[in-house]
Structure 1
Amino acid sequence: MSTYKELTAQIETLQKQAAHARQSEIADAIADIKEKMKDYGITLADLGLAGGVKKASKAKEPVAAKYRDSESGSTWSGRGKPPRWIAGKDRDLYIIK
């Protein structure tokens, strides 16, 4: 029967072997994929990867105010949760013209 130290040493050795085998298989898979892409003229765009890097999304422009409270001067674009000063009231009274 093996001792705890022997078993942990075996585990460590097997983990190193598994990591090495994984890296080797990944390298082989990448080489195979590159070869097939070259043979068939496949591009990253064909795979939906467009260069492999996601483009930065455009910064959203702020929406112009659509409503104004004449008492406080507060404004609201009409998007999202309505502020207290307009909630439940006729919005036509607050439209900015």
Structure 2
Amino acid sequence: MTDHTDEIVKLAEDMSYTEIRQAIGELEKVMRSKEKEAKKQAQEELKATAAKYGMSLEELTGGGSRSGQGRSSGKVPPKYRHPDTGKTWTGRGRKPKWVQEWMDSGRDIEELRI
């Protein structure tokens, strides 16, 4: 552990449970702030490196953020439709109640396929 970490641990040993929980909350706020600063610094360094090679950061990374990478941005079209109610289901995730009831009544799910 670092000197600062040792100091924090020693302080925490004399604190109540509630005080420690409050301190953790404050430390998490500081940590999020430091994380934002570190990300900003890393981005600036990466942009400088890309510029050194005559490129933009977007050219090197494929552009945009990495969240949701590999996912389509649109809605998934439904695969199944109830003939009477018009309710639809994409076929993803848990079966809706109406699909399960359809199958429980001895009918084939393929009858619902669009």
**Under TM normalisation by the shorter chain, which class is it?**
0.3 to 0.5
Q: Under a length normalisation based on structure 2, what TM-score does the superposition of the two structures give?
A: 0.40
Richer in helix (by share): 2
Q: Under a length normalisation based on structure 1, what TM-score does the superposition of the two structures give?
A: 0.46
* Bigger radius of gyration: 1
Higher RCO (CA < 8 A, seq sep 6+): 1
